[in-house]
Amino acid sequence: MSGSNLSLLLHLYYCLCCLSFGNAFDTITSSTPINDSQALVSNNGVFRLGFFSLSSSTDHRYVGIWYNNRGVLEESVIWIANRNKPLKDDSGVFMVSDDGNLVVSDGQNQTLWSSNVRNPRGVNVSAQILDTGNLVLKANGNTVWESFWEPLNVFVPMMRLSTNVRTGEKVELTSWKSSSDPSTGSFTSGLQPLAIPENFVWNNTKPYWRSGPWNGHSFTGIPNMNSFVLEGLSLVNDNQGTFYLTLAFFNSSYLSYLYLDPQGISRQRIWDDEKGNWTTYDSPAETECALYGKCGAFGICNSQKPSICSCMKGFKPNNIDEWNSGNWTNGCTRINQLRCHRLNNTDSEPDDNEYGFLKLERIKVPDFAEWSEHLENECKNRCLNNCSCIAYAFDAAIGCMSWSKDLIDIQKFSYGGLDLYIRLPRSELDKKNITVAIIITVVIGTTIIIVVSLIFLLRWMNKDRDRTGRRVYVKFEELAMFEDNGKETKLHQLPLFKFEELATATIDFNPSNKLGQGGFGPVYMGKLLDGKEIAVKRLSSVSGQGFEEFANEVLVISELQHRNLVRLLGCCIEREEKMLVYEYMPNKSLDAFLFDSTKRKLLDWKNRFNIIKGISRGLLYLHQDSRLRIIHSDLKASNILLDEEMNPKISDFGMARIFGGNENQANTGRIVGTYGYMAPEYVLRGHFSEKSDVFSYGVLLLEIISGRRNTSFYNNEHFFNLLGYAWKLWIEDNILALADTELVSKQCCHQEILRCIHVGLLCVQEHANYRPSMSMVISMLNSEIIDLLSPTQPAFTAALHEESLPNNKWSINDVTITNIEGR
Ligand X SMILES: *[C@@H]1O[C@H](CO)[C@@H](O)[C@H](O)[C@H]1NC(C)=O
Whether the CB-CB separation of 214 and 196 falls below 8 Å is answered with yes
634 catalytically annotated: yes
Q: Contact with ligand X (CB under 6 A): which of 57, 111, 124, 414?
A: 124
For position 36 contacting ligand X by CB under 6 A, the verdict is yes
| 379-to-100, 279, 386, 580 alpha-carbon distances in Å | 55, 44, 11, 37
Please tell me whether residue 253 binds ligand X under the rule CB under 6 A.
Answer: yes
Task: Give me the least distance between CB of 27 and ligand X, in Å please.
Answer: 8
- With contacts defined by CB under 6 A, name the span among 32-40, 226-234, 430-438, 452-460 that binds ligand X: 32-40
Q: Does 141 bind ligand X (CB under 6 A)?
A: yes
**With b meaning 16 or more CB within 10 Å and e meaning fewer, what string describes 117-142?**
eebeeeeebbbbbbebbbbbbbbeee
* Number of chain residues interacting with ligand X (CB under 6 A): 32
Question: Should residue 277 be labelled a site residue for ligand X when binding is judged by CB under 6 A?
Answer: yes
C-alpha angle with apex 556: 551 to 559, nearest 5 degrees? 125
Q: Binder to ligand X among 310, 386, 624, 638 (CB under 6 A)?
A: 386
Residues counted in the chain: 823
User: In angstroms, what is the minimal distance from the CB of 580 to ligand X?
Assistant: 36
CB closer to ligand X out of 386 and 639:
386
Query: Least CB distance from residue 616 to ligand X, whole Å?
Result: 16
Nearest distance, CB of residue 250 and ligand X, angstroms: 7
d(CA 149, CA 81): 12
Interface pick for ligand X out of 99, 181, 286, 370 (rule CB under 6 A): 370
Q: Are 524 and 544 in contact (CB under 8 A)?
A: no
- Using the rule CB under 6 A, give the single segment among 325-333, 512-520, 603-611, 718-726 that binds ligand X: 325-333
Phi, psi of 229 (to 5 degrees): -70, -45
Q: Is 783 in the site for ligand X (CB under 6 A)?
A: no
268 binding ligand X? (CB under 6 A):
no
Question: 634, 652, 693, 740: which is the annotated catalytic residue?
Answer: 634
Shortest spacing between CB 204 and ligand X, in angstroms? 4
- 594 residue type, one letter: L
DSSP for 268-322, written as a single string: EEEEETTTTEEEEEP-GGGSGGGSTTTT-TTEEE-TTSSS-EEEPTTEEESSHHH
Candidates 381-389, 516-524, 686-694, 751-759: pick the segment binding ligand X (CB under 6 A). 381-389
Regarding 35 and contact with ligand X (CB under 6 A), the answer is yes
The greatest distance separating any two alpha carbons of the chain, rounded to the nearest whole angstrom, comes to: 108
How far, CA to CA in Å, does 733 sit from each of 153, 176, 726, 737?
42, 48, 10, 10
One of 31, 143, 169, 254 touching ligand X (CB under 6 A): 254
Residues in 59-98 that interact with ligand X by CB under 6 A: 71-72, 90
Distance of CA 578 to the CA centre of its chain: 36
Smallest separation (angstroms) from ligand X to the CB of 251 = 4
The nearer residue to ligand X, 279 or 716, going by C-beta atoms, is 279
Q: Which of 8/72 has CB closer to ligand X?
A: 72
| Secondary structure percentages of the chain, helix, strand, coil, to 5 | 30, 25, 45
Rounded to 5°, angle at Cα 685 from 681 and 691: 30
User: Rounded to the nearest whole angstrom, what is the least distance from the CB of residue 203 to ligand X in the complex?
Assistant: 4
Closer by beta carbon to ligand X, 277 or else 303: 277
- Exactly one of 192, 330, 462, 667 binds ligand X (CB under 6 A); that residue is 330
Rounded to whole angstroms, how far apart are CA atoms 570 and 99?
75
Contact between 20 and ligand X by CB under 6 A: the answer reads no
Tell me: does residue 344 bind ligand X (CB under 6 A).
Answer: yes
Compute the chain's Rg from CA coordinates: 31
CA distance 352 to 552: 34
Contact 317, 329 (CB under 8 A): no
Which region, judged by CB under 6 A, interacts with ligand X, from 111-119, 251-259, 351-359, 431-439?
251-259
Contact letters (x/-) for ligand X, 169-198, by CB under 6 A?
-----------------x------------
DSSP reduced 3-state for 557:
helix
292 vs 499, beta carbon nearer ligand X: 292
Nearest in space to 537 (alpha carbons), one of 550, 527, 548: 550
HSE, CB side, 13 Å, CA atoms: give it for residue 358. Answer: 19
CB of 35 to ligand X, least distance (A): 4
Coil, strand or helix at 819 = helix
Task: Give 108 or 167: the residue with its C-beta nearer to ligand X.
Answer: 108
- Residues forming the site for ligand X (CB under 6 A): 35-38, 71-72, 90, 108-109, 124, 126, 141, 186, 203-204, 251, 253-254, 264, 276-277, 322, 327, 329-330, 344, 347, 370, 386, 388-389, 404
Catalytic residue numbers?
634
